[in-house]
Structure formats: C-alpha cells, structure tokens
Amino acid sequence: MVSIIFTIVCIIHPFHVSVTDIKYNKDKKSIQISSRIFLDDLELALQAYTNQEGLDIVDENNWDFINENLKRYLLNKIILKDGKNREYKLVYVGIEIEDDVMWCYLEVEKVKKIQSIIVTNKILHEVWSDQENLVHFRAFDRVKSARLFKGEESQIFEWQ
C-alpha cells in the first residue's frame, strides 16, 4: 500500500534529485567523483547553459558539442575546497549513459591527505527550484552524507 501511494505522489509531483558519490582514495592520492543525473533534467540544464533549445544530449551528431559543454557545466557546478578554502583542481574524466541516467566522472589528483573538505554541488539548480543533490563522501572507511538544496549548496566534511 505504501509503495502505491509513493508511486502516485511521484507521478503527481515528481521530485528532482541527483546523487554524487565522492571517494578519497588514499593509495592513489586522489578524490574520485561520480554523479548520477537523470538525462531529461541534464538535457534541460545544458539547453539553458548553452542557450540551445531542443538540444538532444544523446544525439551522437552533437557529441563533441555536448561533451565540451557538459565538462564546463560540471566543473562550474561541482566545487571542492580544502579546509583553508583553497579550491581543488577538478579534472573531467568522462561520462557514460545507463538507461535514463548519465554518469559523470570527475577527479582531483595528487591529494596527499584530507581533514576537511567543503563540497559545493549546484547541479540543476537553474532548472528546478526544488532540486535536491545528495552527496555521499567516503574516506577512511566511513561514509558521510549531505542533502544540498538551492541556497544551501555546500557542506563541510571533516575527518579527525
């Protein structure tokens, strides 16, 4: 019964969510980021970002344009800073499509250690006022999570 009610609520009022997994890989001295974003939402965001109405993000004929603008969009929307408020340099690794979701991959290289990181995630905030970005940060065999909204786009993750 609960699942039926949940399904009806989702149909009547869809919710807007992305999920970003961040992992500190101590052995590789890197921070690996993967974001799962629904294709239709990301398509709307890229249309707004590029001023290209009708842009089809899965059309292989537009792939170079899509990939370059998606890279710029992600690097503008996801920001990591150290405990001293210095921005990490994120590297765009790539994307892949799985069903109705696009997986987007970023990485920070040469991270010797972490104690405190400020994560900002503004993905899709220009598209949906109720956009919720879930962030799960894995480091030192622990997972810390946050729910980020428009106006509350950042969270400090600390390890002592």
Res 4: pLDDT: 52
* Whether 7 contacts 68, CB under 8 Å: no
Q: Is the Cβ–Cβ distance between 119 and 154 less than 8 Å?
A: yes
Report pLDDT for 156.
Answer: 95
Q: Please give the structure tokens belonging to residue 31.
A: 């921070």
Query: What pLDDT sits at residue 55?
Result: 82
Q: What residue type is assigned to position 25 of the chain?
A: N
Q: Which burial class, exposed, middle or buried, applies to 94 when counting CB atoms under 10 A from its CB (0-12, 13-18, 19+)?
A: exposed
Per-residue confidence band for 52, with pLDDT thresholds at 50, 70 and 90: confident
Q: What is the pLDDT of residues 4-32, one digit of tens each?
A: 544 444 444 477 999 999 999 999 999 99
15 touches 132 (CB < 8 A): yes
Q: Is 150 helix (H, G, I), strand (E, B) or coil?
A: coil
Q: Tens digits of per-residue pLDDT, 134-151?
A: 999 999 999 999 999 999
Alpha helical stretches, state H, the chain: 2-12, 39-50, 63-77
The answer, yes or no, to whether residue 103 has pLDDT greater than 70, is yes
pLDDT at 13: 46
* 2 confidence band (pLDDT: 50, 70, 90): very low
Q: What pLDDT sits at residue 59? A: 83
Q: Considering the chain, what is the average pLDDT of its residues? A: 89
Mean pLDDT of 28-51: 94
Percent of the chain surpassing pLDDT 70? 92
